Structure 1
Amino acid sequence: MPQQPPGRSSTVGEARPDASMSLLTNVMEHSLDDGYAEAADRAEREGSSGLPRSLRAKLWLAVGLALTAVVVTVSAVQARVDAPVVAKERAELVDRVEEGTREADELEKRNESLRTKVSKMQHDALRRHGGEKGTLVALLAGATRVEGPGIKLTVDDAADSTSGGTEGPRDDGFADQGRIRDRDMQRIVNGLWAAGAEAVAINGHRLTALSAIRAAGDAILVNNKPLGPPYTVLAVGDGAKLDDEFRKSAGGKYLQVLKNEYGVRYGVTAQDELRLPASSGLSVRTAEPVRAGKGSTS
């Protein structure tokens, strides 16, 4: 029987080279203890607090609801405390507004009274110091009411003021061609003056040499007063002759074009008796002192 060589083991098979380092191998292959690994897995499943996730969500919800209830309660209490103060301030503000409105109304009444007084003094001065031409001056200045025959001219927008034409004398970029504008009224009034009218009024507002017809949006301003359609124009003069002369004037022809091309409505009738008010905005641009015992020579 052959003998084993010295230093050889009698076990079957060869041993691992690192058999003598089993402890180090175990440490390398299992660096984390099984107990620690199990604890980490459980913490990940249940959360760091050790509570189930559903329970933690309920706790956070309860905390949020509690904080919301506290905020709402504090706000309600604060609003209830501040309510009397706010109501008092509002009442004081309302009182101040009402007081200011009353003062403004009183000042407006006083202003109107003074304006009427000044206007009356101006009218009286024109009649008293106008000399031989006092009546004519008062008439031309609109200082007195006028009565007499004349014509009544009624002008209104087209029935469908947006259906007018797009060409012609009013084609200036405005879509609404069937609406009476300030320059239309200017041409009409100038036509009446040219036809021989002695006095003219629009919707009760007397026109003078200083009157202005302007526009403010869709409204027409006469003596700075906004007017709306229909426009009633009264002109004192020789009724039948004034009617005929106006129709032949540039203003009458222009008005006929507005009717034919844009549907503007108008009517002219002769009147036996018209009453025009005095101008409410009489202005004296220049004045000279009157010598004692003498009237004006101009």
Structure 2
Amino acid sequence: MRLLTMGVFALAGLLFFTSFTTAKGTNIRTDASLLKLSDLIQERSQKNGELDETNGALRDDVESLAEADDGSTQAQDDKLAGLEKSAGTQRLKGRAVTVTLNDAPPNATAKLPGYPEPQPDYLVIHQQDLQAVVNALWQGGAQGIKVMDQRLISTSAVRCVGNTLILQGRVYSPPYKIQAVGDPEKMQQALADSPAIQNYMVYVNVYGLGWKVTEDGTVTLPGYSGTVDLHYAKPVK
């Protein structure tokens, strides 16, 4: 019996030592490390936004200096302006529509008979939902698209981690606003014709996911102000 008692105390001591070594003086039952990571992501997102603004201002200065005396002809200047417009680095003015997506209420239930009660994934906006809207707007002839406060270009990637959007180094939470310049009627028709959005609308009607499409009249989209360097692409040999 004494041997058994000594064994129990020895095991308890080992567990205590292991817990102490793992925790290193911290509370291992809290989410403090996750909170610190979240704070770091938000800090980096804010810093990236500030760098984008600085980069955009410097780009404007460089372009102004280049236009002052670059020795180019008017035809060359017009061609360059057209390329910049297509690349999304210049402001774009025109009629626009805005699509707003939002999470459903956390206590949402099925509104229509024959549908199961929602799982957590049913109630949040996912990456494929945002991509479906962007793709449909391009399909509808959009000349330029802005997601939240950033202009999309050919290398832009709309990505989500959970229900958080990460776009070009910056982090956003719902509601998500996607604004596109083009023919409003054609873009709205493309949204209605998209199979992916038709599937999304089922969740809108059954579980209350947010969906709103508005015509904005004439607006001006900002030019893309971030870097255009391809950090991971390799030339084809």
TM-score (norm 1): 0.48
**Maintained 8 Å contact 1:162/1:176:** no
The counterpart of 1:186, out of the listed 104, 123, 131, is: 131
Aligned match of 1:115: 55
- Superposed, 1:135-284 pairs within 5 Å as 135-160=81-106, 163=109, 175-284=120-229
- How many residue pairs match? The answer is 171
**Maintained 8 Å contact 1:143/1:282:** no
Aligned match of 2:115: none
Q: Distance in 2 between matches of 1:204 and 1:113?
A: 11
TM-score (norm 2): 0.59
Cα drift, residue 220 of structure 1: 0.9
Looking at both structures, which has the greater relative contact order when contacts are Cα pairs under 8 Å and sequence separation is at least 6? 2
Cα drift, residue 237 of structure 1: 0.2
Question: 1:122/1:182 Cα in 2 relative to 1: closer, same or farther (>3 Å)?
Answer: farther
1:176 match: secondary structure:
helix
The one-letter code matched in structure 1 to 2:187 is: L
Question: 1:125/1:146 Cα in 2 relative to 1: closer, same or farther (>3 Å)?
Answer: farther
Question: 1:245/1:123 Cα in 2 relative to 1: closer, same or farther (>3 Å)?
Answer: farther
Question: 1:125/1:144 Cα in 2 relative to 1: closer, same or farther (>3 Å)?
Answer: farther
RMSD in angstroms over aligned alpha carbons?
3.5
**Maintained 8 Å contact 2:88/2:152:** yes
Cα drift, residue 194 of structure 1: 0.9
The counterpart of 1:134, out of the listed 80, 84, 91, is: 80
1:116-149 per-position Cα deviation (integer Å, ceiling 9, x unaligned): 4553367669998865433332122221111110
Hey, which bits of structure 1, 4+ residues long, moved more than 4 A? 110-114, 121-132, 161-165
Structure 1, unaligned runs of 5 or more: 1-106, 166-173, 287-298
**Maintained 8 Å contact 1:161/1:177:** no
Aligned match of 1:95: none
Cα drift, residue 193 of structure 1: 0.8
1:145-201 per-position Cα deviation (integer Å, ceiling 9, x unaligned): 111102111111112366469xxxxxxxx7331100222211211111111111111
